[in-house]
Structure 1
Amino acid sequence: MRFGAKIGLVLLAVGVLPVALLGLVSYTVSRDELQRTVGRMQTQTAADLALYTERFVSTSIESLRLAMAPVPFDELAPRETWQMLSISYRQLPFVSILVLVNDRGVPVAGPLLERNPGEDPALAGRDPVTDADVDVFSHQIPRAPPQAGATALGAPYRGAHGSARIAVSLRIGKDRTLAAEILLKDVEGRLAELSSGGGLAYLVDANGDPLAAGRPVTLTAEERYLSEVGFSRDRSWSRLVRRDDGERWLSAFAPVKGLRWGAVVAQPMAVAFSAAERLRFYVWSWAAVALVLAVSLGFVLARMVTRPVERLSRAAAAIAAGDYAVPVEATGQDEIGDLGRAFALMTGEVRRRDEEIRNWNRELQTRVEERTAELKTAQDQILRTRRLAALGSLGAGLAHELNNPMTAVTGYLAILKKQLQGTSHADMIVRAQEQANRVARVVEDLRTFADQEQVVQGQRFPLSRPVHAALALYEDRLRAAGITLTTRFEDRLPDAQGDPVQIQQVVAHLVENAINAMPHGGALEVSLGTVDGEALRLRIVDTGKGIPVTIRERIFDPFFTTKDSAGRVGLGLSVSHSIVEAHHGRIVVESEEGAGAAVTVLLPAATAAHLA
């Protein structure tokens, strides 16, 4: 039997007199339920406003970080830096001022701003920036964090005119910080939208003071208490408050996560409870006619309507909070039963779609991170290869041009040494010969570096042979330095393909670096094995001082060295890297400062190398 038929039977059986009491009961129950329901809706609206504000700020900062991430500021000239900042500035419509400063706060590039944005269609909609705005911004820039890529957020403020804004500092490198002024125009637009129609929406700081509002607002002690409780308990809630004009308003507070701000949405009690007030008017109007009938009918409706609606309301609140396990009772064959069953079906569908969206987001994030890492690795490899190729050509030219003159200089010095032997000038000739030999070594290193750019097919050879040969060259130095050598070679290793002399040179460079890293003695472990039977793995581990994080990315750069010895031009690891790549291999360095270093050289086996 449907609900309408039940009501008709009750009215016919009982009469019309109980309508008055039913109206009173319905008014009381409906008003209480309406207050809870509207309060939850108001709280949800405040939570949505807080989430919108948080996402706007976080999205703006992330967009700023992504716009700056691919720009190599350390490698750009001042004019190029200005051009890159200009491009990024035009791509960030929410930024009004952009400037690159050093750690002393001195501008390196910028500031970029628009005094007359209307003249450029691409910048239409931005607030014009005056000298007063720049002055306020310069005093609001927060101190830059030490880590590269980290951001610091200042307190909201207002310039000489326009919307509220915040200053952000983004660390992009050593002694380089990007300072930006982000306009909260979109947030204020949302506040104005929520404040239309007699309502009110505003943001407050941790002290309860207004940051931005849809229209001018003056807070009373009760309104400040709403924010104070919300901040102290870090939760969203609502209550009736009395405003400065004496009217009672239903206000809801929600914290803005990560910013120590709060979002408040309010509306007059008369508007929030207008449906209940109309119901009370109708109740008193019909009370004289239908008082007796309302008593009986109110009892029935309270059981058949109010309780199911209340259960559905509680279930809706739980589902809005993310709790899909709340049971929804759906008994009976009337409209309320149909509603309950439809509500249960909707809950299951929402839960299923929510799980699908979450799984898809996680999968998408994983794929983006994997592709980003692969792209960065490929870009680094391309840049290093181009740099090595260019420097190899330069080194070959310099070695060719300097070799013949240095040969003549060395010969003349030898003749002078014989002619002036036993004189006071003999010592000067010896020192000149030492410096000439030093130049010759540098020229030889340049020539060797240039020769590694040529790739040859080579021959098959056991990898242990050049490794043993390189270690034999350093036996005396290892013993003199107090370094204990440990070797671990697997049996029946497949052959390598290439030039054993060049591989011996790679091992020699790596052992030389390990010895230099342990001036006071230590342990050196050299191991040789395979990876899945398809590749050869040479691993050299020392207990030296390790490689600092700040220079780990530069160790394969030509002419980069941390050694103080004369004649060291920083080509050892560059030459080794070129040789390994010429053999279709890969070299990997693992190190922590103060905890030694481990260098792994991966080479394809002879069959795999031939296929490569």
Structure 2
Amino acid sequence: MRIRTRLLLLLIAIAAVPALAVGLLAWRDAERALSEAVAEQHRRTARAEAEHAATHVLSLATELGGALVHQEPLALGPSEAQEFLIRVFLRRDRIAQVGLFDARGELTASVFVDDPEAFARQEPQFGRHDTVAAREVEDFQRRSAGLLSQVSEDRAYAVSAPYLTAVRRRPAVVVVARAPGTRAGGLAAELGLEDLSQRLAMRGVGNERVFLLDGAGRLLLDGEPERERRQEDFSGKLTGVAGAKQTGLADYEEEGRAWLAAFSPVPELGWVAVVARPREAALAPLHALARSTFGVLGLTLVGVLALAPLLARALARPIARLAEGARELARGNLAHRISLKRRDELGDLARAFNDMGQALEQAHRELLGFNEQLAAQVEERTRELQQTQVQLSRSQRLAAMGDLAAGMAHEMNNPLAAVLGNVQLMLMDLPEEDPSRRMLGTVHQQAQRIASIVRELQLLSERQQLGRLPLDLHRMLQRVLESRDAELSLVGVRVDCQFHPGEVKVLGDTQALGDVFGRLLGNALNAMRDRPERNLVLSTQVVDAELVRVEMRDTGRGIAREHLERIFNPFFTTKQQWTGKGLSLAVCHRVIEDHGGTISLDSHEGVGTTVTLVLPAAPASGGLV
């Protein structure tokens, strides 16, 4: 295939595919944006109609309640009560009838139009109200009495479910207001919904349709009386509209047409306001966009066919130079650059090619640097492995020394018990003034010291079978601090607890871990004596929800670096005066190891020491000790 043919096909693909893709993307974006705009407009309209419907009905409830507040109609005589109801009746249009009910729910007075000519002679404003049949009066009294009986003491009014009047077949609701305070009875009025229906008919502009549904999803009002009488059920068409509590969107089909709808609940009435528009009408601007897109695509293809021969001749030589540059890069010559001084797309391609070569060269240098970084990481991991090996060696060394200590303790216990027993017998036989008693007391004291060392050796040598129970780490640390509170105050140590937020639980033995923290706290106190700054920081941290890290940092004398490797060895101490047995840290190491944890120590001479313990975290469901 010749380059001209290939270039023609390439240009067609380059021109047509992007244009088509842009058109499809533009269509999708425009459809989404238009759908969102239509939906938002429908939501606003639905909310507005819902609020207007609620205001239209609930304002009558407010008026009825206000009439009861300003006057007590049940205390009026028949003529005064009738005059009171006439004022209420004439206050607004579309009130078909009003009634006054006593505490037993029985009607005491009512006003309605049953003879238009007679009422017109009395008051011309009666002409604004419908003529009511006797059956409708009975229905109104029954509905009003039932609704008044359901009004709770904490509410002043109630509105019935919408219904069609028995004779006129017009939508209406009953609004009742309960007498305030301790007065019983109330005021009721039947409100026709024709004004709302007319408003919905006017709000439906063009193909848009605005209507109200009752709580069950049946058509209540839409401006067409005949359709309102049929009470069409929309609960199956509009998903989520029945009993809706918040604004939403829905699609439905009617008479073969797809509709886009938004709905909003009517406050306090349980109705739903719906705004709908046919989908093809809502998305009509997209069809114009599609025609424009395909027109542009056609013009683009015609231009490509006309310019392809000229472009083929102008592109052959620069493409060859670009191919040569690509071969140079393939040979590994990353410093090769193409000199093509053009201001068209090929020039841009040559500059992009040079940028690519520069980027490859830079990437090569970065790869070399990455190799060096990787080597450093390997070295770091090797150092960590060496530290692990050191800790393992320390554990093995402590285990070996523990076995030796076990043998020593076993061999020393019996002779030591004999010495202590004989000394105690001799002390019991000697009088208080005998000069030998003081010497025997010293022997007894030192023998007890040897017994204490033997017990420490047994702690070091015996693998503890500790009960692993979930325990509250913070509570245990607080108990350890409280046990040393007097000594901390005496030395003048300021303690700063930086605990992890919330409850932290670890698996372990309370007595054994409490002894470990007590020993570590005693070492810290000893190291901070006679120091100008005496601060102790105790912090906890949860690591990956499986481990708990505890750090104890003091500002004591610190430990020389050459002693750090031997710090956990039995009988090794850095104290300036021998006040212990040199077994404390060795015992701590054995206990923490028995708990499945680790202990490490970092110290700088003259600065302070940090002891870090890592313990297994307890499951979240475990009980606390």
* Shared fold (TM-score, shorter chain, > 0.5): no
Q: TM-score, normalised by structure 1?
A: 0.41
Q: TM-score, normalised by structure 2?
A: 0.40
Structure number with the bigger relative contact order (C-alpha 8 A, sep ≥ 6) is 1
